[in-house]
Amino acid sequence: MSGVLDEYPLDFSRPELQAIRDVLARSIYRPADIEDVILAAGLNPGQIDFTGDATLRWLSILVRARAQQRMAELFTAVRKREPMVAARLDELAAPRPVLEPGTGAPDDLTSPDGAGWQDFGNERLVVTGSDTLLAIAFLGTGLVRSRSICRLLVSYASGKGSYGTGALIGPDLLLTNHHVLYDWDDGGRPAIAVEAWFGYETDEASHTSSGLTIVGCDHTAIDGERADDWAVVRISAGSLPLPPGTPVLSLRGAAPPRKDDYVFIIQHPDGGPKMIGLSHNLVRYVDDKVVQYWTDTKEGSSGAPVFNSRWQVVGLHHRWVSAPEGDGVSFRNQGRRIEPVIEGLERHGFEVG
């Protein structure tokens, strides 16, 4: 069996190839750094299209590397520069790529077709009278909260692999989406293996941090509810200890979110290193079950906590939703409100701080 990088020409309609391009563009995006990788791979920078953003540059690089049969050399150069990012690329390039989990039938509560979601019209980016200034302590508090967030690597009985984002909400308990830990494309069967990657992030020089800790999870302890798309798994008793200073994330104490609030999401987009959405983060719609916002997310962000401006949890991110035809912008991102998630956790006997 061959992977997506063995095809010629490359098929960028395949989600694993799109994810490879996006992971590369997020990890190595400065023109000088990109040129260093190109030269190390034996490619001619003059044949690469450097116009546009890093995503377009990496598309051009991948096309050129495949045409010249230098894909192996290209990924050798990437591995030397970003070894932990290379691990994610290997997952995507494998014959059985590790992809975003499925999200069920079209009539499911998580359907992205826009049906039933309100107030999509008259979207605007500028909100008059809104104060976007935050105390400088906001940055430090966010960094502390970020240590609770991990990447999840999941294997299903069907043979597929997948990934998502999780948060430590108890000494050994991780919260994420139901569709991350249960295979919605295969009858909702729970995962047969789960790993949690703590400290999977880049430093100020855009190099992968050395603080990565991978712990195993007990797949027999998976529990959750599909209706509000939440699930939990326990860290295995015999796994390595978590990194020192990893805090347990509290789910309580936040005021209900309101339209025009700002919300922030620490996440593992595309299954890659930890990132945060900080731009155009306005809440656009709230009801008893969901909160919808413009905060940026990607595949792999499923299961990330949605924070307010005080770094309190107001939701559990789970997908995007599209606008009804002809009604405002094309999509929003959406989280389940944290209150019904807490109620579900308590129904299943979990203590929630």
pLDDT mean over 110-139: 61
Give the whole-angstrom CA distance, residue 339 versus residue 251.
Answer: 9
Q: Which residue range is the domain that position 341 belongs to?
A: 137-142+249-347
pLDDT mean over 332-347: 97
**Residue 135 host element (H or E):** none
My answer on whether 231 and 253 are in the same domain is: no
My answer on whether 225 and 254 are in the same domain is: no
* 110 occurs within a structural domain: no
Residue 1: the pLDDT is 42
Higher-confidence residue of 293 and 124: namely: 293
8-state DSSP, 223: E
pLDDT mean over 70-80: 93
The CATH number assigned to the domain holding 278 equals: 2.40.10.10
- Cα 184 to chain centroid distance, Å, stands at 18
pLDDT at 106 over 50: no
To the nearest whole number, what is the mean pLDDT of the chain?
88
Residue 128: the pLDDT is 47
Give the β-pairing of 275-277 and 264-267: antiparallel
Q: Which of 107, 169, 184, 105 is nearest to 348 (CA)?
A: 169
Angle, CA of 317, 230 and 296, to the nearest 5°: 10
Residue 120: the pLDDT is 56
Residue 134: the pLDDT is 84
pLDDT at 55 over 60: yes
Q: Which of 184, 156, 181, 183 is nearest to 166 (CA)?
A: 181
Name every residue whose Cβ is closer than 8 Å to that of residue 105 and which is 6 or more positions away in sequence: none
pLDDT mean over 69-75: 94
Give the whole-angstrom CA distance, residue 300 versus residue 320.
Answer: 12
pLDDT mean over 244-269: 96
pTM equals 0.81
Residue 200: the pLDDT is 93
Residue 100: the pLDDT is 80
Name every residue whose Cβ is closer than 8 Å to that of residue 131 and which is 6 or more positions away in sequence: none
Higher-confidence residue of 3 and 311: namely: 311
* 104 occurs within a structural domain: no
Domain boundary among 166, 200, 235: 235
Q: Which of 135-149, 203-217, 333-347 has the lowest mean pLDDT?
A: 203-217
Judge whether 202 and 273 are in contact, CB under 8 Å. Answer: yes
Instruction: Kindly report the number of other CB atoms within 10 A of residue 245's CB atom.
Output: 7
Confidence of residue 52 (pLDDT cuts 50, 70, 90): confident
Residue 258: the pLDDT is 96
pLDDT at 12 over 80: yes
Domain boundary among 182, 200, 235: 235
Task: Express each pLDDT in 125-136 by its tens digit.
Answer: 544 455 678 889
My answer on whether 221 and 285 are in the same domain is: no
pLDDT mean over 26-42: 92
Residue 113: the pLDDT is 45
pLDDT at 110 over 80: no
- Phi then psi for residue 347, to 5 deg, are -60, -30
Higher-confidence residue of 196 and 202: namely: 196
* 38 occurs within a structural domain: yes
My answer on whether 202 and 255 are in the same domain is: no
How many domains, in total, are found in the chain?
3
Give the whole-angstrom CA distance, residue 38 versus residue 32.
Answer: 10
pLDDT mean over 57-61: 95
* 282 occurs within a structural domain: yes
* 108 occurs within a structural domain: no
Confidence of residue 239 (pLDDT cuts 50, 70, 90): confident
64: its two tokens: 């050129």
Confidence of residue 234 (pLDDT cuts 50, 70, 90): very high
Higher-confidence residue of 94 and 104: namely: 94
Residue 331: the pLDDT is 78
233: its two tokens: 């798994």
76: its two tokens: 């050798």
My answer on whether 37 and 71 are in the same domain is: yes
My answer on whether 336 and 253 are in the same domain is: yes
Q: Which of 41-45, 142-146, 277-281, 290-294 has the lowest mean pLDDT?
A: 277-281
pLDDT at 86 over 90: no
Residue 133: the pLDDT is 80
pLDDT at 228 over 70: yes
